[in-house]
Structure 1
Amino acid sequence: MLHRIVVLVSFLFAAGIAQAQDTMLRRLSTGEDSKGWEAVGRLDLAGAGFCTGALIAPDLVLTAAHCLFDPESGNRIDQSRIEFQAGMRNGRAEAYRWVRRAVVHPSYRYDGPVSAERVRNDLALLELEQPIRNGTVTPFKVARVARPGDQVGVVSYAQNRAEAPSMQDVCRVKGRQQGVLVMSCDIDFGSSGSPVFSFAGGQKRIVSVISAKAQAEGERVALGSQIDGSIDLLRSQLANGVGILKPTISQARRVRVGDARETSGAKFLKQ
């Protein structure tokens, strides 16, 4: 699930900043490769496709809001049939958890034209039925700000690489428009909800969530939500009882993964 958007915008690249060359995607196919990234997982969406999510607390997964909607009907997916598979690699995950509640950013609207506002607010927080506390999966911290010129990285599942996550160690924040981060990161269908990391000070912190892929000035780019205070807002919604509670489902039940669906080529502006 990833919106394909043709972005008819212009943005200023950070001037005077030395920029590292983007690295290629590399598959995290072994336990050694995946060490430290086990809290990134695949979200199986009621057998209708998948997204990527990341654990930010033992029982909370951060992802993109549009992952919770059926792209054909526009209706919310039954969250009790969404399963988070932490560190899924080659058919096996570090932990499997069903989703108990899910909240989306209160300003997010799935229907209507794709816009900067929609991408900016494309965030959701999933509360798991049971916390993940196995000693291997360590939740990530979140940072509020990413600036043009910053070097970032992304870990994602995607179309044709759904069985193991891939890591792009180096990509760049090329600009920021109306709260949307424009990045050079290599993403594809299924990468929706993927965490974008800052490595400043030698610490991994999530600074954005992948919402869409696009074109800008003839170049393929990734669009990400700006975190800012949105995580606190989503946590507050959960604390205030927002979100539909579903009956507990046996962990033995598994969701069968279907192919990720492509959406139509929505545009910010008409050509």
Structure 2
Amino acid sequence: MVYRLICFVLALLPGLAVAQDAALRPLDTADAGRDWQAVGRLDIGGSGFCTGALIAPDLVLTAAHCLFDRGSQARIDPETIEFLAGWRNGRASAYRQVRRAVVHPDYDFGDAVSARRVSTDVALLELQQPIRNTTVTPFATAARPRKGDRVGVVSYAKSRAEAPSLQEVCAVMARQEGVLVMSCDVDHGSSGAPIFSFADGRPRIVSVVSAKAEVEGQRVALGTALDEPLALLRAQLDAGAGFALAPAPRVNRITIGQPRRDTGAKFIRP
């Protein structure tokens, strides 16, 4: 239940003083967006969108819930999903259809909202063709950050669907049971957005946005740690998974968020 997830988040937050976060900065010019071309908008079946990031020339990392239809609970045909790398003001650096998709083997879209569901809310999309554009450089990934570490996020959202925004400084407020609780500013459409560590002066993806929540008046973002989940997803792709659509999961017991029409970003709203 949502109540349990709120209690889980509350238990992690007390006593943590968070430094001032940076404001969102639009990446709506060529200069501003130059280093972030591998973050793109995922247009899903023509009815919604999420955010995704390239981690190899043919692999996009995003949230698992982006691949399910909220109304029917069914898996969305991956071939109806398009990745728009560096999408800004009506143009992308590269356009690619998705060939197949895999979600974490323990993820259940129909499951009650819980820490377990957030911790497995991750997916990999294989593109029909690799992106070889020299301006679109895939991001490396890194181990999950520690409590108190500074991170950043690049994302699209319902109010900024035509260009991404960067929040270069937000904080990891807590981590437990595979879930990261962060102070990052996210909204509908930010699902699947990459969370970056800048520990060595180079952006590396350490999480993806799964949900947002408001706890005692404080807005937080929830994401999964990538270490084990990403290894499992790569193993699924290597084993040839992802071509056939999975059957619809059991009936969802709670409604979370409002996507653009039927699919897209779905967030916990306590």
TM-score bucket (shorter structure)? 0.7 to 0.9
Q: Which runs of 5+ in 1 are unaligned?
A: 247-256
For 1:128-165, what per-residue CA distance to the aligned partner results, in whole angstroms no more than 9, with x for missing partners? Answer: 00000010000000012211100000000001100000
Matched with 1:173 is 172
For 1:98-140, what per-residue CA distance to the aligned partner results, in whole angstroms no more than 9, with x for missing partners? Answer: 0001000001000021110000000000000000001000000
Matched with 1:92 is 91
Distance (Å, rounded) in 1 between the aligned partners of 2:224 and 2:142: 13
Distance (Å, rounded) in 1 between the aligned partners of 2:142 and 2:5: 28
1:182 aligns with 2:185: no
Distance (Å, rounded) in 1 between the aligned partners of 2:121 and 2:89: 29
Give the TM-score normalised by the residue count of structure 1: 0.87
For 1:75-118, what per-residue CA distance to the aligned partner results, in whole angstroms no more than 9, with x for missing partners? Answer: 11111010000000000000000000100000100002111000
Over the aligned positions, Cα root-mean-square deviation in angstroms equals 2.3
Local SS of the residue matching 2:221 = strand
Local SS of the residue matching 1:136 = coil
Matched to 1:127, the amino acid is: E
Matched with 2:150 is 151
Q: Structure 1 pair 264/147, CA: closer, same or farther in 2 (3 Å)?
A: closer
Matched with 1:54 is 53
Q: Structure 1 pair 84/264, CA: closer, same or farther in 2 (3 Å)?
A: closer
Distance (Å, rounded) in 2 between the aligned partners of 1:199 and 1:266: 29
Matched with 1:249 is none
Matched to 1:194, the amino acid is: A
Matched to 2:95, the amino acid is: Y
Provide the aligned length of Structure 1 versus Structure 2. Answer: 253
Q: Structure 1 pair 92/245, CA: closer, same or farther in 2 (3 Å)?
A: farther
CA shift, 1:261, in A, is 6.2
Alignment of 1:98-113 (within 5 A): 98-113=97-112
Matched with 1:160 is 159
CA shift, 1:198, in A, is 0.2
